[in-house]
Chain A
Amino acid sequence: MAAQLQHLGYEDEKLQRVMERLPCRDVQASMLLALMGEQCSYPSIFIYGHRATGKSHVIHTLLKELELPYATVSCVECVSVGLLFEQVLLSLFGSDSASLLSRSPSLSDFVRVYKQLCVQASAKQTRYIVLDRAELLRDMEANLLPAFLRLQELVEDNVTVILLSEIVWDKFRPNTGCFEPLLLHFPDYSKGELQQILSEDSHPSYSPELYSAFINILLGVFYSVCRDLRELRHLAALHFSKFVEPLEQGKESDTHKLWRNIEPHLKKAMQTVYLREVSSVQWEQQLQMEEKEAGVVRGLSAHAHVELPYYSKFLLIAAYLASYNPARTDKRFFLKHHGKIKKTNFLKKHEKTSNHLLGPKPFPLDRLLAIFYSVVDSRVAPTASVFCQISSLVTLQLLNQVGHDDQLDAPKYKCAVSLDFILTISRCVYPMLYCPLVTDWNHCQTPASAAL
């Protein structure tokens, strides 16, 4: 492979060093080097691939190690176009070049200043401008992306723009077309390659075989869910200490037993750290506290630990029932003496569509109160305290207000919590009965079923 690139004039040992730092990316790196060539290259190259497939890493390693003139900008940092231009000029032409730009420069200013600076420092080698997270360029000014794709033509200089993105090129193309860049794909790592790369940052005091066994176990649990190299490295770093704990304590040394030890932790991690419900610091503290007291992991999502006043819980249950059951079934569920409900043609056609799949429906305040009074277990007077609990539920975003704010006489609401949350609440409220009301309704979605 080095023989192929020999003609490009780079020293062999530099190339060797570069290739060592880019494991499993030889093909892509050599293709890029061949495209970059010695003197000049295609005006714009678009590199796409999943997250953590090494796009930025490969480009930056190549450009830095081979000492090519380049400017790299991450489009996330550029809230205004001027920041982008400044950074490019700073990196390519030195620190006093950016002062030539006016306060809020337009693209025309940028091209003019670039041309000026080019005349003073002409390029013998291609200059590279690397734009990371290029999908954000689409949301900036409309002329920015097409102009960068043909920057070489506009500034009349030997410059190549490299765009890096997660999203495919078909989504970038403007309406009237543009200069098509050269498309390059960075494929995802296979399981073997992930194993190879993850095993590289092994802990110095343990053998590499032990670490690769650990990585094997980790991949076995997480590979079907996540292939992102960064996430897997984060998880590996978090769990390795727990993995070798028995080894340190001198209890076990068999890999099989170590695996049995770590597996429930990995499964728990999938519910918490992987979902970022719990930060890694909290997780580590949790692991330390494990021996002393078994505390429940407090996640980030509010639903795990929000405490509501007594009547608010009933109000929320009533809201859930109002949202997910059609109004015509109220008579049957809440009245002692109700008649039969006839099944109309409309009902027959829409039998299959369950409300649980379509989402909550809005309901008026009166209906909420009616259900509330029948659900609550004691006599409640309609005081202002009950009504203001409804407003606080809206503020907590457990209920959503539908319709205009000005509608004071008949406000409409929608329930914004899931069934699991309601079941958790109802367990507190109906400790004896385990909420037959809610589970019953869960099954009786169509009014015709369930002979009550």
Chain B
Amino acid sequence: MSKRKVKETHMPVGECISQVQMILRERFCHQRLPEKPVGMESQHKHLLELLRRTAVHGESNSVLIVGPRGSGKTMLLNCVLRELLEVKDVNKNVLPVHLNGLLQTDDRIALKEITRQLNLENVVGDKVFGSFAENLAFLLEALKKGDRSSSRPVLFILDEFDLFAHHKNQTLLYNLLDVSQSAQAPVAVIGLTCRLDVLELLEKRVKSRFSHRQIHLLSSLSFIQYLDNVRSQLSLPQDFPDTKFYDEWNDSIKTLCEDQLVVDVLQSHYNSSKDFRSLHLLLMLALSRVSASKPAIKPTDLLEASRVCMVDSKANILHGLSILELCLIIAMKHLNDIYEGEPFNFQMVHNEFKKFLQRKSHSIHNFDKPVVIKAFEHLQQLELIKSMDSSTAKIQKEYQLMKLLLDHSQIMEALQKYPQCPTDVKQWAMSAFG
């Protein structure tokens, strides 16, 4: 650490804000790795120890990291890898191979990818192998160092591990785990998955070769820890050039996190999901409202961001329907109430609508049947109603059975917010017997 005091630089507000945006966006959008992952110390230690044994001592291992979406599996793995590769010996020796279940949908593609990542394309050349196992053995053989006694350790990282289990015969998994059990070459097989029941997906021979070592990332943060995490996520790092702005910003974040409104918003978010990804989404929305004219995050920003996150999308879509379509939805709601959720067809809905027009309506015009059918089909396109049977049986479209994919409360709420809704329509919706 230099003894010389860092010269205090003052930048204009606009530039400071750009810097702040860049730093924070890298954290929220580009998943920049934190110094130390929060709330997973024991898992971090466990994984680091395991991989060190493979990298340094040449011991083969297999492990599964299991946790729901957004709980930090990739973040944990990358932090561990970063720490591992800081050691110079390890850095020169270890070969990481990253495979992803979404991209490598076939074992053949996976094998080509492994070959490419191990930089052995030239070595393999045009060779034709009889089986997957032969190919893999050849690759691992090629990694042996000069004296043929030891081979470079390979870390196979399998993202979306459960998707690999759907390949034919699970050959890739079988062979990788086979290699990790036999003493051919030091490999570590690390799988990341979001499914808790991933072991049920594996075949018996594959499961027996797996070491059954699982690291669970079920986020166990308490609310206080969650608040601390929010504060540290929003704070600027030490090396920010403008110290005055740095102090101002961090102080404002501190007061922000103590504000009751903000605490309530964060509590409701914490109650619905504790994972990092949804937190990053919320903070990103709040961050987008920061600009040169408003260089701090206010509690209203967070409130607005929370509102955007928690909005019901179907209610938004209902807001934009025409009056005729809304009346059809109310007619369907009444049918659902009377017949307790049994499927209906267009004729029944039209009948209900005509009853309303005859008895109660003053403001709705009596539209022709084809116009009403067009409105009905529009609702079908928006996927607010769905056909019950997907068979292509020749039933006329007016008689095809449908069901409504909206809830009673959603419809009533949407009616409250509907702009310039005629009163007779509202009363019809609220009446019990249609």
State whether B320 touches A188 (Cβ < 8 A). Answer: yes
State whether A187 touches B319 (Cβ < 8 A). Answer: yes
With A38-B22, A180-B278 in contact, is A357–B347 under 8 Å at CB?
Answer: yes
Return chain A residues, CB-CB under 8 Å to B57. none
A309 to B281, CA, bound (A): 68
State whether A224 touches B293 (Cβ < 8 A). Answer: no
Of the listed stretches B48-56, B174-182, B214-222, B362-370, name the one at the interface; the rest are far from the partner chain. B362-370
Return chain A residues, CB-CB under 8 Å to B293. 3-4, 6
B233 interface contact, C-beta 8 A:
no
Return chain A residues, CB-CB under 8 Å to B162. 176
State whether A271 touches B371 (Cβ < 8 A). Answer: yes
Return chain A residues, CB-CB under 8 Å to B103. 107-108, 111, 143, 147, 154
With A187-B316, A416-B396 in contact, is A147–B26 under 8 Å at CB?
Answer: no
A381 interface contact, C-beta 8 A:
no
Distance between B393 CB and nearest chain A CB, rounded to angstroms: 9
State whether A108 touches B105 (Cβ < 8 A). Answer: yes
Distance between A142 CB and nearest chain B CB, rounded to angstroms: 9
**Which range contains the number of A residues in contact with the other chain?**
35 or more
Of the listed stretches B123-131, B238-246, B375-383, name the one at the interface; the rest are far from the partner chain. B375-383
B92 interface contact, C-beta 8 A:
no
State whether A182 touches B383 (Cβ < 8 A). Answer: no
Return chain B residues, CB-CB under 8 Å to A180. 69-70, 277-278, 281
A191 to B323, CA, bound (A): 12
Return chain A residues, CB-CB under 8 Å to B25. 37, 39-41
With A147-B102, A170-B313, A400-B394 in contact, is A7–B18 under 8 Å at CB?
Answer: yes
State whether A39 touches B22 (Cβ < 8 A). Answer: yes
B28 interface contact, C-beta 8 A:
yes
Pick the residue among A50, A106, A171, A400 that contacts B383 (CB under 8 A).
A171
B284 interface contact, C-beta 8 A:
yes
A153 interface contact, C-beta 8 A:
yes
Return chain A residues, CB-CB under 8 Å to B31. 153
Distance between A152 CB and nearest chain B CB, rounded to angstroms: 7
Return chain A residues, CB-CB under 8 Å to B311. 183, 185
State whether B18 touches A42 (Cβ < 8 A). Answer: no
State whether B313 touches A168 (Cβ < 8 A). Answer: yes
A158 to B324, CA, bound (A): 45
Return chain B residues, CB-CB under 8 Å to A152. 29-30
B292 interface contact, C-beta 8 A:
yes
A234 to B69, CA, bound (A): 46
Return chain B residues, CB-CB under 8 Å to A108. 103-105, 109, 113
Report 29 cross-chain contacts, Cβ distance below 8 Å, ordered by A residue: A3-B291, A3-B292, A3-B293, A5-B291, A7-B292, A9-B18, A34-B291, A37-B288, A42-B284, A48-B317, A108-B103, A143-B105, A166-B382, A168-B316, A170-B314, A180-B281, A183-B308, A188-B319, A190-B419, A224-B364, A224-B365, A225-B324, A226-B322, A270-B371, A274-B374, A275-B371, A356-B347, A357-B351, A400-B394
Q: Point out residues on A near B: beta carbons under 8 Å.
A: 3-7, 9, 31, 34-35, 37-43, 48-50, 53, 106-108, 111-112, 143, 146-147, 152-154, 158, 166-171, 176-180, 182-183, 185, 187-188, 190-191, 223-227, 270-271, 274-275, 277, 356-360, 400, 414, 416, 418
4 closest cross-chain pairs (CB), A and B: A188-B320, A359-B399, A168-B313, A7-B292
